[in-house]
Structure 1
């Protein structure tokens, strides 16, 4: 949920501007949008998950297909009610971006389009739907005029997370191949995929840090900035280390277990830094 806070925090001039019902409703909208995207992915990936992510496959089986479908319908209804709310209250941009986010979540997993099975196009809906659109939408609720620094921040954040997600793509290379899912790793090869992960994560980290530098104003913000710097250096270096192995796929599988660490260690220092800057 760190991503949802980044847009409003970047736009806010003080903490009181965050105390708003629209910010709360935006949080609920993002939550149901992401759970819908996750559920529809699990639903259509059940056969794939039986080979690796067995807990996800078992959860689908234990709930039952009809229950999972009903949950997705419920989530979609909540999403579109909130989209309508924002539209009617003048947040046209927020409503449009949220609609695109829901569409990306659906098109990524559901046939016949199923973008995740479209090679190098696969990571695009994830990156836009999870790491770009929500940050823009959150910013628009507070400030409808994004600055160039904010645009650079979003670009850097998207690149960083794109790189991290490519590790997951490389990790699932064999399972996806057996299930006839064509990902970027199959189009580019494992070495080039991991190389892309390393370069985009490194470039994204540098851009994010540059855009966050103006938020450093005192001892505490300096400390948090240094934590963010170290976390991004570690993440980029750890991803790059996959390339040094003779067994790239095996190494990617091991590093794939660190994805939660990569995500949390890079995101939450950003949130804390932006929060401290407006207190």
Structure 2
């Protein structure tokens, strides 16, 4: 693709994405204002249904935009057996802003509308925070280790926030999405966190442990999703917008939610240690899978 065509595609993609987002987000924001003014359970339930519909329309709009790129190929395994009437906890590696687009587009017809764990700071961003709140997105307040040393009284508050956020999802089928690394992967962050993985940051267990504890057996399955952009690893989101993205690889692993994954992560040290060990094993398998996907691409290039 020529630079001129890529630039034109980029501008057109950004413009269309903005149009789709405005068309879908304005009704959600209006619904959020009504939700603020009328704190009535029946009204809130109706607003949640409406906002989920608008979220679905946004995902469908993004799917149309992705189809405008004739070079893009989807390589997906594991969608079989998913149901929109079930509860799911979806965990995924986080490489790029493109990840959110991929998850929204791919799963919109297979599971309940995604609810993303968001950083608490987003709640105060004008319009965006209100829209996310109207969509019942769970906000998480994470404290650094240094902050907790200075303010030990705040220890455990982030997990309590997660517990309150998850309570609202008991009433209707929901998919809770958590990028458990807490941040997008970069080589610099990998070095800073001393990650033992080649392609991932260390996973943070508290959020999903609390979600599993709060909703208990309501979760039908845990969806362990691995995303990879083997031919556009450096700038997948930019390449998605500019029409350069050629291949999206998604591997979905259904993990049973057994009794060993339910426990008091805050107060039970043995459970906490075991849960972290389980998640680290899962993350190590994911790291090997990503490495295999990249190696497969390299082998194909050698044969060519």
Same fold flag (TM > 0.5) = no
The structure carrying a bigger strand percent of its residues is 2
Structure number having the greater helix percentage: 1
TM (norm. structure 2) is: 0.29
